[in-house]
Structure 1
Amino acid sequence: MKNILWVQTKTETGFDAILKNGETGNQADYDEMRQLKKTTPWEQLTPEPYNVKKHENMFFVQGYLEDVDYLSSKLPFEFLCYSVSFNELFDNLKTVLARLNYSLNENDVNRTISRLKNSNVSVKGTCLNMDFAVSFFEKLITFCKKHPVVSFIVAVLFALLAKKIFQGNN
């Protein structure tokens, strides 16, 4: 399974749309997605404009389409996908939605991707990105300049810890 999409029906009496790997799916495919959603320890990446959760290289996206139902309410969707990048994730979602003639709000897609890229999460797993590390060290240097006594104490403790680590069990 590469991906599963569920979209609520537009009509009062119609059936929800379920696609598995871009092809017409069925209730068993939807049940598979729901089971994975319930049993997977997801990491919340961004709650809006599209709710994106991640586990290893599997993503779960929830949100609303630009398309509306018979009550003029935006249609909800759920999408489970294996992906190697945030751009690929949304490209896959847009491709699958296009098969149903549905669309996402492009501004919301761009905002979500921007939030994901600026987070401290990588597709391969949670990690610190370089911007975060640089920001951390800049804040640490600023703190040290403002609090030299605390900085000296922390430096001495760090030196003692480093000495202990490098000496080993001796």
Structure 2
Amino acid sequence: MDFDALAYPEVVFIEEQEYKAQRNMSKGQVLVPYTEAPDVGIGDVITQKSGKREIHLKVLDVQFLEGGSLNVGTNHPHMLILHVENSTSQPHKTSSSSNTTFNIGSISGEQLQVGNNNSQSVTINVQKLVEEVAKSNDPEAKSLLKQLLENSTVGSVIGAGASALISML
């Protein structure tokens, strides 16, 4: 088995010149060992052979490392590191809107509507909730709120103010 061939299994074309390479998709990098520096720069598009098809990779950044290959897996002494973006896959990706519009409108003093999908966030502090329920003539609401405030988890979140809030009911 030829382990050197496994080090650079991909074939890429830079300016119609064929090179062996290693592509790391998660990092968006292509490593290309070379002897004479390829003519490649930011904005160029290189081509990777993938079976019978081709993948076009747009170059976002370039780094030439003299002696960078350490002759591991190759006879070429230098290493070209390309940071790339797969431009072949772009039309197939689900696009998320890059122009996000936030619609913010006040519904009342305690309510606020934010977002593109008309989601509504209701913000009220616990003290205001207790005051409004205490003013009401709804014994069930008072009882449920008192049970909530007496809960040990709720009490630990609210802190020392929980007993003062319970006394308001």
TM bucket normalised to smaller: under 0.3
Higher RCO (C-alpha 8 Å, min separation 6): 1
TM-score with structure 1 setting the length = 0.23
Q: How high is the TM-score relative to the length of structure 2?
A: 0.23
Hey, which of these two has a bigger chunk of helix by percent?
1
Larger Rg: 2
